Amino acid sequence: MSQGCDCKSEEKLIFACSGAADVGELSDRAARVLTKEGSGKMFCMAGIGGRVSGIIKTTEAAAKILAVDGCPLDCVKNSLEQAGFNKYKHLRVTDLGMEKGKSEINQENIEKIAVSSREKLSG
């Protein structure tokens, strides 16, 4: 079955860590907030890793790509690069002062990530 491309070159795509750690959950939740408010569109990181053709094509057509990693392992960044993407903005949650395994899942932390993400998407 063919995976169609919903290619809109004006789209800003957000790929977020959704890992098992608290910083992954925070990344995921911030990306959902940004999507809901219209700052960008959360997109499927697993589809990049799985090289799903429609997801790759839509990502290729994006106006901007934001990679939001939870920690220094940079899984999102590395996955994008392995799929051939090198033009993207990168945000690492632990660079915002949050610590893996010690960060509360709360609105304050989610908004801190969302603020930095908005800046990267608009810049």
33 has pLDDT over 80: yes
Edge-first strand listing for the sheet containing 12-16: 41-42, 12-16, 64-69, 89-92
Per-residue HEC secondary structure of the chain comes to CCCCCCCCCCCEEEEECCCCCHHHHHHHHHHHHHHHHCCCEECCHHHHHCCCHHHHHHHHCCCEEEEEECCCCCHHHHHHHHCCCCCCEEEEHHHHCCCCCCCCCCHHHHHHHHHHHHHHHHC
Confidence band (pLDDT; 50, 70, 90) for 2?
very low
pLDDT tops 60 at residue 75: yes
Residues in the chain: 123
Domains and CATH numbers, the chain: 12-122 (3.40.50)
Mean pLDDT within 42-61: 97
pTM as predicted = 0.91
4: CB partners within 8 A, 6+ apart: 54
